[in-house]
Amino acid sequence: MQIHFTASPPAAVRLHAYIVNQGAIPSGLDAALVEGADAARFSGRAGQVFEGFASVGGTLRRIAMAGAGETGSADRAHHLERAGAALTAKYLVSGESAMVLDLSDAGLSAEEAAAVLLGLRLRAWRHDKYRTRLAAEKKPTLTEVHVAGAPEGTEAAWQREAALAEGVEFTRMLVTEPANVIYPASFVAACEKAFKGTGVEITVLGEAEMEKLGMGALLGVGQGSDRESKLLAIRWNGGAAGEKPTVFVGKGVTFDTGGISLKPPPGMEDMKWDMGGAGAVAGAMLALAGRKAKANVIGVMGLVENMPDGKAQRPGDVVTTMSGQTVEVLNTDAEGRLVLSDALHWAQEQFEPARIVDLATLTGAMIISLGNEYGGMFANDDTLADQLAAAGKASGDKLWRMPLGPAYDKLIDSPIADIKNVGPREAGSITAAQFLQRFVKNGTPWAHLDIAGMVWASKPGHTWDKGATGYGVRLLDRFVRDVVEG
């Protein structure tokens, strides 16, 4: 969706929209519209949309009002995003190709106006490339928004949010594409194309390089696939020279059959999004580079495909990680932690980060615990946990902190190796986090985000359609804005 700022909207655009604070319908509207809004019980509550028609200067106009809620609400930014998104949801396939968004009477700051536009843009994303028989009335038509009456500074604020939107959209694309399109090598290629000209440094390790480094855990997961495993690092140096970087690590299992511990067939197609953590890291890095963040940030993604094959690792195998620790693989479907163990260790050895945050669609147990409302957060540092929780609340990518502790750690001790890759049935998400903690160096602030319930939605949300949500991009971007950039 293209967003333009203008003092004089094109006269040919029929659809005109207004953002309405609760209880404050704009003055100057046709009396019939005001009366109709009252009859429809439109009050400007967040997410409400009212539509009517009026003759303006002898031309029929389609008039829409989107509610932004109360002006003093603590959730004001989210309500404004919801207002913008509600307009897109209503008119994306309406037959209208353009909209005039009149902000002159909305009483918004530049940042608030940009929040409206972010909601508009995010809700417009769809992935229809494989739908060859989509009915005409279901095809998106709304492609342009002409913003009039925007407060001073909105264009600059929108440039920052537009970069964020691009990152979210990139993540959604990576997560949505099927596994015959996005696999380790093509994931790398998509990033190389998307980041061209942004000023980032890209490092790619193939299997030969990882074998020399001793990454037996990551390589063990991918050895049953014909697709070569990769380790991808994207470095953005926008902060002070010599300042230790913040490192984000993402699980990138581009398809997860479970390996020899094969998953049941129903629902296995969903496992194309088992790379949602790596997708979020890639999208966040694109957003940071796009808005020229004043921070040193590195995204590391372990990319593998977990397949059953004569070469695949077996339950009971023992692998040696890059850290030197040995792992007894009791369940080949607990593969994400194996990928992350080597990626985490390599990231710390290579970059000596100030802090490290990993994101992974790691456990089904997290969905049982938190459903699809929160990502689970585990951390060895209270300050980092509080900062991430605040970023989650501000961005809408919500987190809920879960416990770690020695009693849980004992549950993954192996009788023949240093660690086993699964514990008992109970506390499955916690023992997975305990596994990862064993690969975090003492003194390094670390958080693990289990986002299994958040990267894919079975029904539309306020700012996304059914499917990939882009969860994690906004969280990481907000964390960098508030903590790293300060």
> Which one is catalytic: 337, 355, 420, 481?
337
Active site residue 263: yes
Q: Each residue of 362-381: pLDDT tens digit? A: 999 999 999 999 999 999 99
Cβ neighbors of 202 (< 8 A, separation 6 or more) are 191, 192, 195, 232, 233, 234, 235
The whole-number average pLDDT for the span 268-281 is 98
Distance CA 199, CA 164 (A): 17
Distance CA 374, CA 472 (A): 11
Longest pairwise C-alpha distance within the chain = 84
Distance CA 408, CA 99 (A): 55
Residue 123's pLDDT band, with cuts at 50, 70 and 90, is very high
Percent of the chain's residues with pLDDT above 70:
100
Q: Each residue of 197-251: pLDDT tens digit? A: 999 999 999 999 999 999 999 999 999 999 999 999 999 999 999 999 999 999 9
pLDDT beyond 80 at 27: no
Q: pLDDT value at position 26? A: 82
Q: pLDDT value at position 29? A: 86
Q: Each residue of 433-456: pLDDT tens digit? A: 999 999 999 999 999 999 999 999
pLDDT beyond 80 at 481: yes
Distance CA 300, CA 353 (A): 12
Residue 59's pLDDT band, with cuts at 50, 70 and 90, is confident
What domains can you pick out in the chain, each with its CATH number? 2-149 (3.40.220.10), 162-484 (3.40.630.10)
Mean pLDDT score across all residues of the chain: 97
Sign of CA dihedral 374, 380, 384, 386: positive
pTM of the model as a whole: 0.97
Distance CA 318, CA 301 (A): 23
The whole-number average pLDDT for the span 102-106 is 93
> Which one is catalytic: 263, 292, 393, 398?
263
Spatial contact of 266 and 254, defined as CB atoms under 8 Å apart: no
In the numeric block, the tokens 């009149």 are attached to: 102
Q: Each residue of 2-11: pLDDT tens digit? A: 999 999 999 9
pLDDT beyond 80 at 152: yes
Q: pLDDT value at position 28? A: 81
Q: Token pair of 54, please? A: 């009026």
Q: Token pair of 369, please? A: 């615990």
Q: pLDDT value at position 119? A: 98
Q: pLDDT value at position 57? A: 79
Q: pLDDT value at position 55? A: 86
Spatial contact of 116 and 3, defined as CB atoms under 8 Å apart: no
Residue 111's pLDDT band, with cuts at 50, 70 and 90, is very high
Residue 49 bridge partners (DSSP): 66
Q: pLDDT value at position 83? A: 98
Nearest to 429 by CA among 356, 354, 374: 374
The whole-number average pLDDT for the span 288-296 is 98
Q: Each residue of 75-95: pLDDT tens digit? A: 999 999 999 999 999 999 999
For 178-202, b/e burial (b = at least 16 CB within 10 A) is ebebbbbbbbbebbeebbeebebeb
Q: pLDDT value at position 160? A: 97
pLDDT beyond 90 at 179: yes
Determine how β-strand 355-360 pairs with β-strand 317-320. Answer: unpaired
Q: pLDDT value at position 148? A: 97
The whole-number average pLDDT for the span 244-273 is 98
Q: Each residue of 298-322: pLDDT tens digit? A: 999 999 999 999 999 999 999 999 9
Distance CA 279, CA 407 (A): 33
Residue 202 bridge partners (DSSP): 234
What 3 state SS string does the chain have? CEEEECCCCCCCCCEEEEEECCCCCCCCCCHHHHHHHHHCCCCCCCCCEEEEEEEECCEEEEEEEEECCCCCCCCHHHHHHHHHHHHHHHHCCCCCCEEEEECCCCCCCHHHHHHHHHHHHHHCCCCCCCCCCCCHHHCCCCCEEEEECCCCCHHHHHHHHHHHHHHHHHHHHHHHCCCCCCCHHHHHHHHHHHCCCCCCEEEEECHHHHHHHCCHHHHHHHCCCCCCCEEEEEEEECCCCCCCCEEEEEEEEEEECCCCCCCCCCCHHHHHHCCHHHHHHHHHHHHHHHCCCCCEEEEEEEEEEECCCCCCCCCCEEEECCCCCEEEECCCCCCHHHHHHHHHHHHHHHHCCCEEEEEECCCHHHHHHHCCCCEEEEECCHHHHHHHHHHHHHHCCCEEECCCCHHHHHHHCCCCCCEECCCCCCCHHHHHHHHHHCCCCCCCCEEEEECCCCCEECCCCCCCCCEECCCCHHHHHHHHHHHHCC
Phi/psi of residue 378, each to 5°?
-120, 140
